[in-house]
Amino acid sequence: MESAENLAAPPARWWAAEQDCSVRCGLCPRACRIPAGKAGYCGVRINRDGRLFSLAYGHPVSIAVDPIEKKPLNRFLPGTKVLSLGTFGCNLGCVFCQNYTLSRQCYPPSRQWPFVPPEEILRLTKRENCPSLAFTYNEPTVFAEYAIDIARLARNEGVKTVLVSNGMISPGPADEFFPLIDAANIDMKGFSEAFYEEMCGGSLAVVLDSLLKLKKLGVHLEITTLVIPGKNDADEMTNNWLDWVGENLGRETVLHFSAYFPAWRCRIPATPAETLYRIRNLCRSRGFDNIYLGNI
Ligand code: SF4
């Protein structure tokens, strides 16, 4: 992974020193062992002389005002705008990534990146008359220190916070981050460990733990599945997923199913609209009425 020595990166949290100047990152279940001078899998947490730093802290690469429905959140502050921000980097390696220009990018070592303090994010949110701000575009877990500092300010100033995440975060950081969140859209990429292992390099069990934690905290929760033909569109998998949601989150849970398009390293043809209609019919036949289809 590329380093970015000229960026004024602040120290990261959730890591431990290991032998030979290496560090072990504890932010997400990947638990990267990072040698000196290298970055972790996400590309934004770097070992400098035996200490871990976050290149993403204070360095959003995308800030925009979006409709809240674009997150997607259909039942949280409907009709409002949300100040949205993201950085580079992701802790999953989905072969079908629809957003690889951000997720697989690193901060170029040759470029000075403007520093945007948390206070400035709040100022922009208010200037744009947004009742909420969102950690989105790339995976917010990888910039958790920054997001937590922004979310604390937002809480103090009456601005709502939105998390759009893959749910792959370790329990300690999640226990600090999630209570500062008002609404979340979490990806459930495919309801089997085999799918997560083959297609994402992640763990379904971790994502389910995150969903349970958010539900217990009373966070407004919506869940998105990108439907990939032949990989996660079988009725059996959908039925198993609905069984789990019904038992653990409730049948009133808002579920989104979106069409996939060939991207990054996946050349499977795009999801036909009929597949999404079939899934929606199945959900409705099981008593799940809050179903939204995307990308069609
Ligand atoms: S947050 Fe990044 S560096 Fe840390 S364990 Fe996860 S992928 Fe590795």
273 and 133 co-located in one domain: yes
Which of 141, 142, 143, 166 maximizes ligand 1 atoms within 8 Å of its Cβ, making it the mutation to test the pocket? Answer: 142
Query: Above pLDDT 70, what percent of the chain?
Result: 97
Q: Which range of residues forms the domain containing residue 28?
A: 15-54
136 and 81 co-located in one domain: yes
> What is the CA(247)–ligand 1 centre distance, in A?
31
Taking 50 as the threshold, does the pLDDT of residue 145 lie above it? yes
39 and 106 co-located in one domain: no
Ligand 1 lining (C-beta closer than 6 Å): 25, 27-28, 30-32, 40-42, 45, 91, 142
Which residue from 140, 154, 114 is spatially nearest to 44, judged by alpha carbons?
A: 140
251 and 288 co-located in one domain: yes
Q: Report CA torsion sign: 117, 177, 201, 19.
A: positive
Taking 90 as the threshold, does the pLDDT of residue 189 lie above it? yes
According to the model, what pLDDT value does residue 113 have?
82
Dist. CA 44–CA 107, nearest whole Å: 7
Taking 70 as the threshold, does the pLDDT of residue 33 lie above it? yes
Taking 90 as the threshold, does the pLDDT of residue 123 lie above it? yes
- The reply to whether 5 falls in a domain is no
Which of 2, 30, 47, 92 maximizes ligand 1 atoms within 8 Å of its Cβ, making it the mutation to test the pocket? Answer: 30
Indicate the pLDDT class of residue 110, thresholds 50, 70 and 90: confident
Residues 45-75 pLDDT 10s: 999 999 999 999 999 999 999 999 999 999 9
Residues 235-248 pLDDT 10s: 999 999 999 999 99
Nearest CA to ligand 1 atom 5: 31
Q: How many domains does the chain have?
A: 2
Dist. CA 276–CA 282, nearest whole Å: 10
207 and 250 co-located in one domain: yes
85 and 43 co-located in one domain: no
Q: Residue 66: CB partners within 8 Å, gap ≥ 6? A: 81, 82, 84, 134
CA distances for 213 relative to 147, 173, 183, angstroms = 18, 12, 13
Dist. CA 195–CA 253, nearest whole Å: 23
25 and 130 co-located in one domain: no
Nearest CA to ligand 1 atom 4: 25
164 and 246 co-located in one domain: yes
Q: What is the pTM of this model?
A: 0.96
